[in-house]
Structure formats: C-alpha cells, structure tokens
Structure 1
Amino acid sequence: MSDIASVTDSTSDIPRDLAERYGIRVVPLTVVHEGVVYRDGIDLTPEQFYPMLEKAKQLPTTSQPSPSQFMDVFGPLLESGKQILSFHLSKVLSGTVNSAKLAARQLAPDRIHVVDTGSVSFGIAVQAIEAARLAMEGFGVSAILEQVARPQEVLRSSVQLEHLGVCI
C-alpha cells in the first residue's frame, strides 16, 4: 500500500473499475438539468446524460465542486497518513482546480499537491492513473510529479461531434 493517494474530478471520465484498481478518488462536478441536481458519475452516468441532452429544451449547466467537497475527500486521506496528488480539469475551462487548491491550503498545503492538467477527460485520466501506478511502485511525490508533467507537454484533446445541435 502506497502512502500517496491520487485524486481527480469526474471530468477525467476514469472508468469506475480503473479508479478502484488504482485507488483513485473521484470528486464529482454537479450537473443541473431542469431544476434537478445530479452528481456527475454518481447520480448521472454518460449513458443517462446523452439521451437527456438530446431531448433537452434547455442545456444543462455544470458547477465545480466546492472546497468543502474536496476537504471531505482529502481529510480522511490525510488522517490515514497519505500525501495527495490531485489532478484536475484545466483552469481555463473551470474553477475546479481552484476549489481543490483552496481546500489544500486550508488542510495541509505541504501534503496536498494540486495539478492543473491543462486538459479534459482522457488527458486528466492518464495523469491520475500514471501517478497512482507510480505510487504503487514506490516512487515519491517529486518523481511522480516530474513523470506526469511529461504528458502535459505533448497531450492534446480532440472532440468529435455527431451533430452541432448541442453547441448552438
């Protein structure tokens, strides 16, 4: 068991089985649709979301996790003696990374390392998974951060849409 924990947000789209295998904690963003509040990946799956989106009269909105939501995840990890590497959605797209940084500052800034991946989806996931894998192999925080910074330099995300209806 490693003394380093990997945390990410639900925009990483890490499949549940991989998150469990690597012990990655996932903090959900919030999706609000027609007055109903969902926790991404918990109350609402992609299989439920996309059909809902096609029928929507008004597009759903999202909200970043609050610092207290991050504190709820970070706290028990710190209590168990872990250092935390936390990988998140690009700050250009969301305030999620800032919420994680606020929580880290309030709890243990020397033991929580928040990373703005500069990416979305798989770009986040690959860094969180690689960090967890390296931690399992016994690498330290500095070595892991150095290794996972490399994909940031070359990783680019692309999106292919079936139709532009949801973009207009």
Structure 2
Amino acid sequence: MAAQEENDFEGTVDWDGQGSEHATQECPGGNGYWHWILTPGGSTTIETDAELVVEFDDESTETAQGYRPGEGGGAVHFAVTKSGGGTVNSATAHFNGGGDNVNLTISDGECKDEDEEPPENGDDEPPENGDDDEHSDEEKSKKEKRKEEAKAETKTNCD
C-alpha cells in the first residue's frame, strides 16, 4: 500500500523516549536497524497502513511502513534501517485506529551487514516451538562482536 499523506491519518504520536537504550546503533560498514512497535492503547486495532518517520541526530530521516507479524489485531511494527547507523533524535507515527493511550517504543536495535535485509511482515517471529533456530547463537555472537568493535572504536576516538 502506498504511503498516505500525513493529513490523511486520524492519529499521530511522538516517541517519548521509550526504548532509548536502543536509540544509538553505530555500524561502520553496516546498517543500523531499529525495530519499533506502535501499541494501540486500548481495544481498538491500529490499521497496518501506519507510517513512522524517524529523525536522526545528523538531521537525516527515514520513513517506514507498518506491518503486523502474525495474524489478528494489536500492535503494528516498523523496521527502520540506516546505512552506517546513527542515533535516533525523534520519531512520529501516523496511524488510523487505536485507543486513547497509543504508545511508540523502540523494541530493539542492532547492526546488520550491508547485504542483510531487516525482518518484514512477520519474519521476526520466533520459531513456533519456542526454540532458537540453528543460527541464533552464531547471529548473537556476530551482534556481540559488532557491539564490542563499536565500543572499542568509540573508546579509541575518545582517548
């Protein structure tokens, strides 16, 4: 579905900092990835044509379309990527539906390889049996290694 004009949406919510521990993803040679969740704040479902606009500290913006993993109503998810990563400065979700207490949060974030695509349309759901897939330990190890490299680079730059 094509993005709607901002004024075509019934509701708007600004990010209030929830999940800020994931706001910075410094990813030299890779992509920063942020998984956002927009919860309805009531029993009224948010429609999946929702849109998220994220502004970074370098004043660049990224726009993502909402999706709902699995079936049914409830929260709408957004996958945001940015080459090299960065720090989220602000974000605004535009949506239709939802209750009186709609909430926007960064659920998680990480660095991904340049050729690695973010999850989309439910691909980020855990396996049905609840067990980790065979690559999860390797993926966790890569993620930890990238975080350590970023920390070491930051420390070197600060010394």
**TM-score interval, normalised by the smaller of the two chains:** under 0.3
Which structure shows the bigger proportion of residues in helix conformation? 1
How does the TM-score come out when normalised to structure 2? 0.27
Which structure shows the bigger proportion of residues in strand conformation? 2
